């Protein structure tokens, strides 16, 4: 089994006041996340506004975040998109700048068949030596990676896991039951983390861990040590924050929250915009009732 970690933060991409990538702030954020419970970070995933980043911005982010993190944590590069050819090229270049693993989202818009999905992923992963994690998020891609296809892909040596954000627990159970024994299933929805652990899942690629990483880690550790009731208590306590971080499209609420807490990450890039007044008030009210784990020194 490849040991990458159980808790990853799907990291936002900080921008400056002119809308340019704030690379130094990205490095500070990555270190702050490691200091508040994360085993590593996903760079340029959905929460990182991957579709709005250029290839050059992504590669520089991969390199600079990995340089900052070093051996302290795992850096997973989001290199997948709807173009198989472009995904292959970016994956190879990400490997060359030193990232630890690859995250490959199912291709959006084209809506391929299951065989098309299989061939897409197979073609990308066979072009790299890095461990690869699949990412199934039908609400964003308009295509679902069926459990049978995920199981089939799990037989490829460097396909080591999947981030499952379908919210379909029956599908998730089928993957865990049928996949290669070393295949790791990560929750892709913070609200599903504890239910997925109870089915035999391995961990989470989280959004709320920007703010409450130590608490997410504690919840998982409680469950894994047999203290399911205590884990459930933490899970229930965190659900209002989960709802607030998805009141409008991710990562808009998370960026708003980080900015309000004093860690400047800028506005999202168009076509995303800042939350409306009602959503912003909901986010602020929720934050007021939360214990925040992001280190204070990181927010100055």
Active centre residues (catalytic): 135, 163
Instruction: Give the separation between CA 32 and CA 297, rounded to whole angstroms.
Output: 9
Q: What is the largest CA-CA distance in the chain?
A: 50
Instruction: Give the separation between CA 85 and CA 40, rounded to whole angstroms.
Output: 27
Note whether 80 and 87 are within 8 A (CB). Answer: yes
CB-based burial label for 204 (10 Å; 0-12, 13-18, 19+):
buried
- Two structure tokens written together for 127: 């072009």
3-state secondary structure 98-132: CCCEEEEECCCCCCCCHHHHHHHHHHHHCCCCCCE
């Amino acid at each position: 089994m490849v040991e990458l970690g159980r808790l990853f933060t799907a990291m936002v991409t900080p921008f400056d006041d002119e809308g340019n990538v704030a690379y130094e702030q990205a490095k500070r954020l990555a270190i702050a996340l490691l200091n508040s419970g994360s085993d590593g970070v996903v760079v340029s995933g959905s929460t990182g506004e991957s579709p709005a980043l250029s290839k050059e911005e992504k590669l520089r982010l991969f390199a600079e975040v990995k340089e900052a993190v070093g051996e302290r944590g795992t850096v997973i590069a989001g290199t997948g998109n709807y173009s198989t050819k472009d995904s292959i090229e970016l994956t190879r270049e990400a490997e060359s700048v030193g990232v630890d693993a690859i995250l490959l989202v199912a291709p959006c818009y084209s809506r391929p068949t299951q065989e098309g999905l299989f061939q897409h992923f197979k073609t990308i992963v066979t072009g790299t030596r890095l461990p690869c994690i699949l990412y199934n998020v039908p609400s964003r891609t308009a295509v679902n990676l069926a459990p049978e296809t995920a199981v089939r892909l799990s037989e490829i040596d460097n396909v080591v896991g999947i981030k499952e954000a379908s919210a379909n627990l029956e599908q998730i159970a089928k993957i865990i039951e049928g996949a290669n024994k070393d295949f790791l299933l990560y929750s892709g929805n913070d609200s599903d983390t504890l239910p997925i652990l109870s089915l035999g899942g391995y961990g989470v690629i989280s959004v709320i861990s920007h703010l409450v990483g130590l608490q997410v880690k504690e919840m998982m550790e409680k469950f894994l040590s047999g203290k399911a009731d205590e884990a459930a208590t933490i899970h229930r306590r965190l659900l209002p924050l989960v709802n607030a971080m998805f009141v409008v499209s991710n990562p808009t609420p998370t960026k708003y929250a980080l900015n309000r807490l004093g860690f400047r990450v800028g506005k999202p890039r168009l076509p995303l915009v800042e939350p409306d007044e009602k959503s912003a008030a909901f986010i602020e009210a929720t934050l007021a009732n939360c214990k925040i784990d992001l280190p204070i020194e990181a927010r100055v």
